[in-house]
């Protein structure tokens, strides 16, 4: 790209307008939390100044999994099969380690049919941004409970969920994700800071975003509704994010502030709200989530971060050039190699 001269509209540090980050027109219901998340993704990739064509989008099946068509239209996208985005994303990142992997799926996709793949992606610390648009139900099949539905929450039809939820953040921390956050589609500022930090993080970022389904799970008795979240959302901290390319200090106002420096030099600025919370303390993170369940709160913010851990691609000791575009001279061993093996087998 040539750098734009005298941009007529607001451009980011690489000279692109926000329009370059948009996708097709959404076909999701008006007011669906997923749409707000799409908006945040558009803003964050724009503000972070990332070439959209460096991003590869992955999803499974569901309303949430449709959403990659509605942001970053200039990025390749792969709407895979139900629950299997982690495998497809992992494969693509193996093929091209320079891609920025972005998966957006649902709670059904992740915690029900795709739980196995989710767990193994966690173990591998695949360098990917993994957003769970969590509405506690299967939106696309019209409102059945998913595995993240809280105990006692009620469907519109009156059916009560009597099984405990799978907490995807707990699982993520337990099984090896190196960036774990929970947010709410209605909390623009917090979600933005989290998404930007996730883009900067070099391992797996799991972000569970409570994203109300206005059609099937936004009623009285639901624990994933807008009003429930407004009442029960307990942010752990006030979040600020300073990208590596901006050497500034953020004004977080009065109060105790903790900073976490990510691998690329970006900084997470966490301002204490109420209690002490150190997101690099794994045991405390797990404890805090359990306490929230006990107390009927939804804790949001950066739950856990481990900036230095090696990710899956790094462990494989791959050449720097994408495997996908290695020339034949690097792929096919010379004739002498075959001769050598043939000789051994004689």
Partner 1 sequence: MSTIEVRPETYPQKEVQPRVVNDFSIQVATVNGSGSQTANTVLMRAIFQMGVPVSGKNLFPSNIAGLPTWFTIRASKYGWIGRKKEIDFLVAMNPETAREDVQNLEPGAAVVFDEPLKLDALRSDLHFYPVPFDKLVAPVCPEPRLRKLVRNMIYDGVLARLLGIELEEVRKALYKQFGPRKVKAADLNWGAVQAGWDYAEKNFTKTDPYWVERMDATRGKIIIDGNAAAALGAIFAGVTVVTWYPITPSTSMIETMMGYLKRFRIDKETGKATFAVVQAEDELAAIGMVIGAGWAGARAMTATSGPGISLMAEFAGLGYYAEVPAVIFDVQRVGPSTGLPTRTQQGDILFVATLSHGDTKHPMLFPSCPEECFTMAQTAFDLAEEFQTPVFVMMDLDLGMNNWMSDPFPYPDQPLRRGKVLGKEDLERLGGFARYADVDGDGVGWRTLPGTDHPAAAYFTRGSGHNEKAQYSERPDDYMRNMDRLARKFETLRKHVPRPEVILNERASVGLLCYGTTRYAAEESRDQLLREYGLETSYLRLKAFPFTEEVGDFIDRHARVYVVEQNRDAQMVSLLRMELEPEQIAKLRSVRYYGGLPIDARTVTDEIVAMEGL
Measured from the Cβ of residue 319, the count of other Cβ atoms closer than 10 Å reads 9
Residue 8 CB, nearest approach to partner 1 (Å): 18
Can you list the positions of beta strands (E) in 72-178?
Answer: 76-79, 100-106, 128-134, 137-138, 144-145
Does 116 contact partner 1 by CB under 8 A?
yes
By the 8 A CB rule, do 90 and 81 touch? no
Asked if 37 touches ligand SF4 (CB under 6 A), the answer is no
Helix (H, G, I), strand (E, B) or coil at 164: coil
Q: How far is the CB of 337 from partner 1 (least distance, A)?
A: 5
Give the one residue of 48, 63, 88, 302 binding ligand SF4; rule: CB under 6 A: 63
> 112 with 82: CB under 8 angstroms?
no
| Residue 109 interacts with, from ligand TPP, partner 1, ligand SF4, none (CB under 5-8 Å by kind) | ligand TPP
User: For residue 284, what are the CA distances in angstroms to 56, 165, 295?
Assistant: 34, 20, 16
Contact 207, 197 (CB under 8 A): no
Binders in 127-146 for ligand SF4, by CB under 6 A: 135, 139-140
Work out how close the CB of 243 gets to Mg ion at its nearest, in angstroms, rounded to a whole number.
Answer: 31
Q: Which is nearer to ligand TPP, 141 or 261 (CB)?
A: 141
Q: Is 212 in the site for Mg ion (CB under 5 A)?
A: no
SS3 assignment, position 194: helix
Give the shortest CB-40-to-ligand TPP separation in angstroms. Answer: 16
Q: Does residue 4 belong to the site contacting partner 1 (CB under 8 A)?
A: no
- Residue number closest to ligand SF4, CB atom: 139
Query: Bridge partners of 183?
Result: 209
207 binds, among ligand TPP, Mg ion, partner 1, none (CB under 5 to 8 A by kind): none
Scan residues 92-131 and list those touching ligand TPP (CB under 6 A): 105-109
Which tokens hold the place of 307?
């900036």
Site residues for Mg ion, window 122-161 (CB under 5 A)? 135
Residue 160 or 337 having the CB closest to partner 1: 337
Q: CA nearest 181: which of 139, 218, 134? A: 134
Give yes or no for residue 222 binding ligand TPP (CB under 6 A). no
Contacts of residues 255-262 at CB distance under 8 Å and 24 or more positions apart, as own/partner, are 260/302, 260/305, 260/307, 261/307, 262/197, 262/200, 262/201, 262/202, 262/305, 262/307
Backbone phi, then psi, for 180, in 5-degree steps? Answer: -130, 125
237 binds ligand SF4 (CB under 6 A): no
Contact residues: partner 1, CB under 8 A: 1, 20, 24, 51-54, 56, 58, 68-69, 73-81, 84, 86-96, 98-99, 116-117, 119-120, 316-320, 322-326, 328, 330-333, 335, 337-339, 341-342, 345-346
Contact residues: ligand SF4, CB under 6 A: 28-29, 32, 34, 63, 135, 139-140, 213-216
């Amino acid at each position: 790209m040539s750098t734009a001269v005298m941009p007529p509209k607001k451009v980011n540090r690489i000279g692109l307008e926000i329009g370059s980050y948009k996708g097709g027109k959404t076909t999701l219901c008006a007011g669906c939390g997923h749409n707000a998340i799409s908006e945040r993704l558009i803003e964050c990739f724009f503000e972070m100044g990332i070439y959209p064509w460096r991003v590869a989008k992955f999803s499974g099946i569901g309303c949430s999994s449709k959403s990659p068509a509605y942001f970053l239209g200039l990025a390749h996208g792969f709407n895979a099969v139900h629950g299997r985005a982690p495998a497809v994303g992992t494969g693509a990142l193996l093929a091209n380690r320079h891609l920025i992997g972005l998966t957006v799926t649902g709670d059904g996709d992740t915690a029900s049919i795709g739980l196995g793949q989710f767990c193994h992606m966690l173990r591998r610390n695949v360098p990917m941004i993994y957003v769970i648009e969590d509405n506690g139900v299967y939106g696309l099949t019209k409102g059945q409970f998913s595995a993240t539905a809280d105990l006692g929450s009620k469907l519109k039809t009156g059916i009560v969920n009597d099984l405990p939820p799978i907490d995807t953040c707990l699982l993520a921390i337990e099984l090896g994700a190196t960036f774990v956050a929970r947010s709410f589609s209605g909390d623009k500022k917090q979600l933005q800071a989290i998404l930007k930090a996730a883009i900067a993080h070099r391992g797996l970022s799991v972000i569970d975003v409570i994203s109300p389904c206005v059609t099937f799970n936004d009623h009285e008795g639901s624990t994933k509704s807008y009003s429930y979240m407004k009442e029960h959302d307990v942010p752990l901290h006030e979040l600020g994010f300073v990208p590596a390319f901006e050497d500034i200090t953020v004004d977080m106002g009065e109060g105790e502030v903790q900073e976490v420096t990510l691998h690329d030099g970006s900084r997470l600025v966490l301002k204490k709200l109420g209690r002490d919370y150190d997101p690099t303390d794994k045991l405390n993170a797990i404890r805090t989530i359990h306490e929230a369940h006990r107390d009927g709160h939804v804790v949001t913010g950066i739950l856990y971060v481990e900036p230095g851990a090696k990710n899956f691609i790094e462990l494989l000791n791959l050449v720097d050039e994408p495997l996908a575009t290695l020339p034949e001279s690097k792929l096919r061993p010379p004739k002498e190699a075959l001769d050598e093996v043939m000789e051994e087998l004689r």
